[in-house]
Structure 1
Amino acid sequence: MRFALLNDQRTEATPGAQGVCPGCNAEMLARCGTKKVWHWAHKGRRHCDHWWENETQWHRDWKNRFVTDWQEVPARDEMGELHIADIKTPNGLVIEFQHSAIKPDEVVKRTNFYGHVIWIIDGTRRPTDLIQYERMLSEHYPERFDGVDIYTVYCEETRLLKEWGSLGRIVGFDFGGDNLCLLTASQGRSRYLFDFPKAEFAKSITEGSPLPVVQFAKPTQRGYRRRRRF
């Protein structure tokens, strides 16, 4: 974790420090080595949130786009089980940054628990994901709406789309660079993707502005017309 309570204040890890978990009140030790980002770890036990994954620099860089008060916000489910959101805004929007492999049923559980959630996926973890993504886009012609190239692809075309394309939530694929590949809508087998700057994404979340969403307008004789909403 990035924060522990030290004298009742949320504090980042420093060498030799000891603190208390803000979620479960267990004792925590600062881990400040050279191979991993400095973090807090529970003393003599696993993390109190079994959904938690080890934090990488990728996680930390994303969290740094938002104010610290929104980071690592704990909540309990109906059974009293603790879960800690990567980012949670005052209006209840949760952003989860996922680097490691995750089972589909766990994704559904987390999504149902948080409700209003956006997933950001590290697209660099598997080298084949970027290759598949670029190959897929090269085989499709984008349509331009409001100055943005929107690609219509199919849910089985890449491994990432198979894993995340049917979730029914906004999903961002982070392949590095300045942009996210946003998946915001679906219709049957079709999925709609477009690039959106990471800085604008963070600004929209911070200001409470709606993200761009590809949605369906009224059907025409040839099928559905798409439009981009802000």
Structure 2
Amino acid sequence: MFKALDENKNEISIEKAAGTEKYFCPVCHGALVVKAKKSETITAHFAHKSRKECDTFSHDMSEWHKAWQNKFPLKNQEVPLPFENPCHRADVLAYGYVIEFQHSPLSAEEFDERNKFYTSIGKKVIWVFDVNEKYNSKCFSKVEPEYIFDGYRYENGEQKNNWIIKEYRVATAFHAIFGSPDACDSNGIEYLYDCNDKFSSKKTYEWKWKRPLKTFIHYNPAVDKNVTVFLEFYPGKLEKVIWCDDEIDSDVASYIAEDLHGNGEKYDATSQALYLEYRDAIAQRSCFKAFSATEYSVSDFLLEIKNKFL
């Protein structure tokens, strides 16, 4: 952990800790020791003197993780929840969100367990996963959108063409902003999306992912409304996942699409319940080999958390 209590129960960050002082765990109040303070290879942290971790959830100890936590005030970092047994440390608790930062591998079982625990006590969960290395290794490739002609519109008496995105995905609700594909480069296509009407539009793309993490096999952003996943492709660039593919038979997928969207309906509470029924019936597994995500800067990410837009 990167935060402890001193003998006067003041919160102390690892950066300000001195090896000669006494420190205690905010969760179990057991004695802590300062570790790796002078190491060039291991991130400095607090550890239980008894060597027995009181939180059954694993916790990342990387510099990347600490840098993200430090974007929030110390009082919001490593907050014990729900202040009774069982108790776990949220990486960050701010504005009603539990925010978890993940650099090291995480099993699907623990991902699901953490989400279940935090949502059961009334918290929404935001995850930020470090996929910098995978992005740099060309594991992600952007899918260029295909357009079909959709009639005409008039602006200031001038006739212009309408274009819409050809592919309409199950469990999403994209609406293309009108515009000629000739006038937009591959990095400039914008969508309106229903997940967050506080911001009028953001750049949204579909991606292919070679060898995706198995962490997300039970996660579907269109259904799991209280859990949001961001992928950090490189420092300063985040992608909010808003749709992912399903590992289900293509015929079954077409039936779901027809039932949910046959009448051009939005993905509302009724269709969400229907989708969950299908999931249970066919033991659906999410597949992040294909997913859609919306671009965020770090400042946008922090602003939406502060304004409770996520």
TM-score by length of 1: 0.77
1:164 alignment partner in structure 2? 216
1:9 alignment partner in structure 2? 10
Give a deviation string over 1:69-96, Cα, whole Å, max 9, x none.
1110112598x232100011242x1011
Contact 2:108-2:214 at 8 Å conserved across structures: no
Q: Aligned match of 1:45 in 40, 46, 51? A: 51
1:221 alignment partner in structure 2? none
1:140 aligns with 2:144: yes
Gaps in structure 1 of 5+ consecutive residues: 212-230
1:210 alignment partner in structure 2? 309
Give a deviation string over 1:19-62, Cα, whole Å, max 9, x none.
11110010001221223333211103132112132411111111
State the 1:160 CA deviation: 3.2
CA distance in 1, matches of 2:131, 2:246: 24
1:86 counterpart SS class: strand
CA distance in 1, matches of 2:214, 2:205: 16
Contact 2:108-2:218 at 8 Å conserved across structures: no
Contact 2:135-2:234 at 8 Å conserved across structures: no
1:67 aligns with 2:73: yes
Matches within 5 A, 1:70-219: 70-76=76-82, 80-91=85-96, 93-115=97-119, 116-124=124-132, 126-127=133-134, 130-133=137-140, 136-137=141-142, 139-141=143-145, 143-145=189-191, 148-153=202-207, 157-160=209-212, 163-164=215-216, 166-167=218-219, 168=224, 169-186=227-244, 191-205=291-305, 207-211=306-310
CA distance in 2, matches of 1:37, 1:175: 22
1:224 alignment partner in structure 2? none
Change (3 A) 1:98 1:10: same
1:106 counterpart SS class: helix
CA distance in 2, matches of 1:153, 1:165: 17
2:38 counterpart SS class: coil
Change (3 A) 1:44 1:161: closer
Greater share of residues in strand = 1
- Which has the higher mean CA deviation after the structures are superposed, 48-57 or 25-34? 48-57
The amino acid that maps onto 2:62 is T
Change (3 A) 1:165 1:66: farther
Change (3 A) 1:77 1:112: farther
State the 1:108 CA deviation: 0.5
Gaps in structure 2 of 5+ consecutive residues: 146-185, 192-199, 248-289
2:212 counterpart SS class: helix
CA distance in 2, matches of 1:150, 1:90: 26
Change (3 A) 1:77 1:3: closer
Q: After TM superposition, what 4+ stretches of structure 1 lie above 6 angstroms from structure 2? A: none
The amino acid that maps onto 2:301 is F
Relative contact order higher in (CA < 8 Å, ≥ 6 apart): 2
State the 1:123 CA deviation: 0.5
Contact 1:164-1:171 at 8 Å conserved across structures: no
CA distance in 2, matches of 1:199, 1:128: 21
1:110 counterpart SS class: helix
2:24 alignment partner in structure 1? 20
The amino acid that maps onto 1:123 is V
- Which has the higher mean CA deviation after the structures are superposed, 56-65 or 12-21? 12-21
Change (3 A) 1:54 1:166: closer
TM-score by length of 2: 0.58
The amino acid that maps onto 1:180 is L
Percent sequence identity over matched residues? 26
CA distance in 2, matches of 1:86, 1:18: 23
